[in-house]
Structure 1
Amino acid sequence: MPGVKATALSAAILVSAARAEPLKVGGIDLDTPPSHCAPLRDAEVPKAATLGFVSGAMTASAVYWIHREQRRRRQPGKATHPREWAIWTRLDRKKKGYVTRKDLKSLCYRFESDEHAEHLAKQLDPWGMDHINFSSFINNFKVVQMMRQAGRLKLWHRCCGLGVAGNVAGHMAQAGEAGQESHSATKPAAIFSYYMPPHPYQVSDQQADKKRLQEFPVTYAVIDYPKLPGACKVQVEPELGLLVDIVYTKDRKRVDHLVPRRVAAFNDCSIRSLEGAEKLSMKKNWGFGSKGISLRSFPVDGFGPGTFVDFLALVSYMKRDGEVFQYSVKAPVRNYLLFHEPLLEWIVEQINGQKDTDKWEEIFPQLAASDFPTSSWIALGAGEYTDYGATHFLQPLDEVVVVVYDERVMPDGPGMAQVLEMFEDTPAPAGSVMLHQTFV
């Protein structure tokens, strides 16, 4: 090894000097030049020293740049840490390579988790340098996840998740869930549940083992690619998400009516092919990271004709290997097969009366088992796919953007320049809300 050889040579020089003996290393007398070597002239000594110095400097420089390139290639990023990177890009929007405590507090504020802000800052920046890089973020990511999950569950307190299947003519046929007759359908096929909160007032050992629909599936930045046996052909389902209050009858034997509150961009991500899946809901919730909803939403004060919802439209895009493709057709939400109050009334009927047949399940017993949730985010139905969307299923590291926009503000929807900015986590333009997720 070079270090060992250098140490041995240094030791030999010291011993030789102390004993006033000829310097020998490895049996070679270094004090006496070989007979075939001419002695160096005094004029050649500086030249030799200069050449040695330049040679050493060039070698050191080459070693430095090789080491630097190796370090650069080892730097963590989207390819090595896609989940952490998806969250990091929401913090480091200016692409500085670091974030501050103020950025962390902003993240907590967006999740309505202000109480976590100071703890998170101390954990990621213990020395108060106000300079947190991606490596430090990765090392403390579990703390970030805990904050985000606590914030999500607080926003979803006593809230369940329902979906409307087949509210766009032809969509279920495109999705492989129905025959061509869905093209001529005049109303949705059924409803399904994708999340039912655990009973909040029962404490038992059995509660530790959550049932399938009790696993909270909704995220804001990532989608966990399903690892279920036989799961394949995963697709984005861009939908309008509607937050409603659930009003029960006095005897709690039925749902009386729904009160609309807010609308958001929703990704009802679905597995198209899953071995042994007898119910549609089995393709909807495969655990954490099965769904997506925009953090921002529009308030609504009504759901009738002529209200704000009449001017909303929906579109989605996918990014793969740096290229962006339109994934679904731009579509006004007023084109749903059922909309306005007739849709809300139909959902109430399905909650109360839907039977356990074919791929559908009873819904009201699930609500009762969850101690009657007081609200629900309802996915109102996915639109039609573009040719690209219908033939390209999602893969890990793909990114998707779902946009709900006001046609009065954006008559033609977002332009490609705006879409590219959304993939960079720039805030959505005025008159729109958007969801950006990465598949991990």
Structure 2
Amino acid sequence: MNLTTLSDLTNGQDWIGLGIAGNQAEHLDQAGEADDFKEVIAPENAPKGIFPWHIPNFPSFLSTNPLSHDTLSNNCEGYLQPEPEIALVLEFHYSESAGQLLDKVSVLGFSAFNDCSRRVNEPKISLKKNWGAASQGMAKDILPINDFTTTGGTIDNYRLACYLKRDGELLQYGKDTAVSDYCYLNQTLVDWIVNQINTQTDHGPLEPLNEMLTDSKPAYGVIAIGATCYSDFGNSDQRFLRENDEIFVIAYDSNQHNSSSIENALTNNTTLTNDGSLLILQQSVTTI
């Protein structure tokens, strides 16, 4: 499989970072965030909304690019928890109609993503996501696709796994989950993203994306499409990140790999190669 990078997919242009809340059953409850959305009205089993984690040149902390391919800064924050996700690279197509920002989006590729969160009380989700450089993570290699909207396309064969290595011990952090288990995927997800960006208001933990993007109209975006559920350890009182922890978020083609072979390789420090059938984000936790 031919892999690419974010810079190549976006032609070196600026891009925005977004995330989707509530696209995996039970995650919001596990993260202690379900009450934050109690006043957000959404159809049953639908995601709750979209939040920004990076907007270039925006007059706030969001202007800082928090994405790293190998490091996660704890920045003395404490209470940090990884969130294993699939991230899509999007191209935005803007509408010429008054009152509507987006006409459509194209999905260019996907990779493994860590939508790391501060488990603290904040009025907006974005305040939990970007605390400076290296506070979010995505694998350097991206698999280009042109069939995301097709049910049964390339991405539907993938699964997502997450592990933490602490003091030499490999711990399952997130439940091994089929990408097809996302509540919204394929064309349903693409249509929802367009509508949500066009219509989302400043309400509860969500922000008015239409207003935030109208002036800059970025050509590209990275959108993390929702965290999977945690394992028992990932939901335990030992879950928060510590100095020197290593985080692994791995998207893998289930036709070519399985969780046992991946766990064995990580346990034995065997190098796993990003070749498209494996998309690997490995971050070391450090104080910056």
TM-score by length of 1: 0.58
After the TM superposition, which residues 111-126 of structure 1 pair with which residues of structure 2 at under 5 Å, given as runs? none
Aligned CA distance change for structure 1 residues 156 and 234 (closer, same or farther; 3 Å): farther
Alignment of 1:223 with 2:69, yes or no, is: no
AA at the equivalent of 2:61: R
Match of 2:25 in 1: 169
Aligned CA distance change for structure 1 residues 111 and 307 (closer, same or farther; 3 Å): closer
Residues of 2 paired with 1:161 and 1:425: CA distance? Answer: 29
Match of 1:282 in 2: 127
Aligned CA distance change for structure 1 residues 260 and 390 (closer, same or farther; 3 Å): same
1:238 paired residue among 84, 100, 116: 84
Alignment of 1:395 with 2:242, yes or no, is: yes
Match of 2:95 in 1: 249
Aligned CA distance change for structure 1 residues 111 and 189 (closer, same or farther; 3 Å): closer
- Return the structure number with greater helix share: 1
AA at the equivalent of 2:73: D
**Rg bigger for which structure?**
1
Match of 1:418 in 2: 265
CA deviation profile, 1:145-169 (whole Å, cap 9, x unmatched): xxxxxx79x8762211111001001
Q: Report if aligned partners of 1:425, 1:436 keep a CA contact under 8 Å in 2.
A: no
Q: Secondary structure at the match of 2:233?
A: helix
AA at the equivalent of 2:15: C
CA deviation profile, 1:252-274 (whole Å, cap 9, x unmatched): 74101110110100000111115
Aligned CA distance change for structure 1 residues 155 and 170 (closer, same or farther; 3 Å): farther
Residues of 1 paired with 2:211 and 2:94: CA distance? Answer: 13
AA at the equivalent of 1:258: V
Residues of 1 paired with 2:187 and 2:204: CA distance? Answer: 27
Q: Report if aligned partners of 1:232, 1:273 keep a CA contact under 8 Å in 2.
A: no
Residues of 2 paired with 1:289 and 1:412: CA distance? Answer: 27
CA deviation profile, 1:286-318 (whole Å, cap 9, x unmatched): 111110010112111111102101101100000
Shift of 1:426: 4.5
Q: Secondary structure at the match of 2:247?
A: strand
AA at the equivalent of 2:137: G
Q: Secondary structure at the match of 2:28?
A: helix
Q: Report if aligned partners of 1:160, 1:376 keep a CA contact under 8 Å in 2.
A: yes
Shift of 1:232: 3.4
Shift of 1:412: 4.4
1:193 paired residue among 48, 52, 56: 52
Residues of 2 paired with 1:185 and 1:395: CA distance? Answer: 36
Q: Secondary structure at the match of 1:416?
A: helix
5+ unaligned residues in a row in structure 1: which ranges? 1-109, 113-150, 200-209
Match of 1:6 in 2: none
Aligned CA distance change for structure 1 residues 430 and 194 (closer, same or farther; 3 Å): closer
Alignment of 1:386 with 2:231, yes or no, is: yes
AA at the equivalent of 2:243: P
Q: Report if aligned partners of 2:20, 2:226 keep a CA contact under 8 Å in 1.
A: yes
Residues of 1 paired with 2:126 and 2:53: CA distance? Answer: 6
Residues of 1 paired with 2:168 and 2:34: CA distance? Answer: 34
Shift of 1:198: 1.4
Paired residues in the alignment total 274
1:361 paired residue among 207, 214, 223: 207
AA at the equivalent of 2:126: S
Q: Secondary structure at the match of 2:119?
A: strand
Aligned CA distance change for structure 1 residues 375 and 413 (closer, same or farther; 3 Å): farther
Residue identity over aligned pairs, in percent, reads 31
After the TM superposition, which residues 12-411 of structure 1 pair with which residues of structure 2 at under 5 Å, given as runs? 157-179=13-35, 185-198=44-57, 211-227=60-76, 231-250=77-96, 253-274=100-121, 277-303=122-148, 304-369=150-215, 371-391=216-236, 392-411=239-258
Match of 1:75 in 2: none
Residues of 2 paired with 1:111 and 1:408: CA distance? Answer: 24
Shift of 1:417: 2.3
Aligned CA distance change for structure 1 residues 346 and 379 (closer, same or farther; 3 Å): same
Residues of 1 paired with 2:71 and 2:197: CA distance? Answer: 30
Residues of 2 paired with 1:387 and 1:214: CA distance? Answer: 35
Q: Secondary structure at the match of 2:226?
A: strand
Residues of 2 paired with 1:292 and 1:185: CA distance? Answer: 30
